[in-house]
Structure 1
C-alpha cells in the first residue's frame, strides 16, 4: 500500500468558510483524494488551522509547521508521498513576510522531510510541493481582514514563482494550486466544496503518475 501524507493548514483540515466548522471527510480534499485513488493508497490527513511553515505565531506558538513535522513523519512512516501545502498563514500581517521568504520556509520543511525520512525509513518520499492558492480579491470584506491585508494579497500572487524554484532545487513535484482553485467569496481564504473537489481531482492525476 502507498502511504500519502497531506501536510497543511486549514485548507487541508477542511475549514468551512460558511460556518467555521469542519467539512465532512467526503468533502475535504484528502478524503476525496482517498476515494479517487482507491484501496491501494492510504491518504493521511494532517491539516491544522493556522499552521505556518517555520514561523512562530505569537498567539498560537504550537502552530509552527516545523516543530510538528518530524513527529508527524515518524508516526506515519513509512511515508511514500508527501503533499505539502503551507504558506498562506505566513502571509499574516503579524509576520509581514514576502513570498520569497515564505517559500524559503517551505524549503526548510522540504529539507527536513528529505533528511529525516532518509534516516528513519531508509528512503525519501516523493514530495509534491503545492504553491497555495491566491487570497481573494474581496479580502477587505473578509472576517479575517486585518490578519491579512492588501500586501498579503499581493504577495500571495507571487507564490508560484518562488515555490517552483524550491521544487526544482529539491527535486520535488511542483503543483500550482492557483491554476485550478480560488478561495471562497465568504472569506477570501478558504476553499469551497467545489474547490476541494477540483484540488483532489488534479492531485489524484499527479499521484497516479508517480512511478
Structure 2
C-alpha cells in the first residue's frame, strides 16, 4: 500500500465556511482521495489553518511557516510515496506576502525540501503533486473579506505560476479551481461538496503519478 502526505492549510484541515469548525472526516478532501484510491493508498492529512508556503505569521500560537514545519513531518511520516503540496492562499494576506508569485516561490522551496531531506534507511524520495488553490470569491465577511476576497486577481494567477513551477521541476500538477469554488460565506473556504470534489479530482492524477 502506498502512503501519501497531504500537506496544506485550512482547506486540507477541512474548515467549514459557515462556522470555521471542521467538516466531518468523510467530507474532507484527503478522505475523498483515499476513498477514490480504493485501498491502494492511505492518505495522511496534515492541514493547519493559516499555514503559508514559506513565510512567517506571528499572529497565532501555532507555527504557520510551511517550510519550517515540513522537514519534521517528512521525518515523522516516512516512508512516503507521494507528497501533495496544497498551499498558497494564506500567502495572499497583504501582511505576509501578498502575491501568487511569492507563493509559487514558496512552493518551489517546499519541493526542494522534499527532494533533499535525508530520508532514513529504506525510504526513497517521494513524488510530488503541486495543487493550485481555488479562487477567492466576494464576501461580506468582516475579516476574511479584506484578507482574501480583495486579493481575487492575485488568486487567478496561482494556476499560471504553479503549473510552470510543476513543469520546470518535474512535479505533478492539479488546479483545484477546476473542480471547487469557495463559499461566499467567507470568500475562501469550501463547503462539504466542494471539499470532497478536490479529493475526487485528484484521484486520476495520483493514480497516474503512482502507477495505480
TM-score (norm 2): 0.92
Change (3 A) 1:194 1:108: same
1:90 aligned residue:
91
- Residues 2 and 40 of structure 1 are in contact (CA less than 8 Å); yes or no, is this contact kept in structure 2? yes
Q: For residues 160-199 of structure 1, what are the structure 2 equivalents within 5 Å?
A: 160-199=159-198
Name the SS of the counterpart of 1:175 in structure 2. strand
2:105 aligned residue:
104
Cα shift at 1:80: 0.3
Structure 2 unpaired stretches of 5+: none
Change (3 A) 1:97 1:208: same
In structure 2, C-alpha distance between the alignment counterparts of 1:93 and 1:110, rounded to whole Å: 24
1:36 aligned residue:
36
1:24 aligned residue:
24
In structure 1, C-alpha distance between the alignment counterparts of 2:67 and 2:123, rounded to whole Å: 21
Structure 1 unpaired stretches of 5+: none
Cα shift at 1:188: 1.0
Name the SS of the counterpart of 1:5 in structure 2. strand
- Residues 148 and 188 of structure 2 are in contact (CA less than 8 Å); yes or no, is this contact kept in structure 1? no
Alpha-carbon RMSD across the aligned residues, in angstroms, is 1.6
- Residues 6 and 30 of structure 1 are in contact (CA less than 8 Å); yes or no, is this contact kept in structure 2? yes
- Residues 9 and 86 of structure 2 are in contact (CA less than 8 Å); yes or no, is this contact kept in structure 1? yes
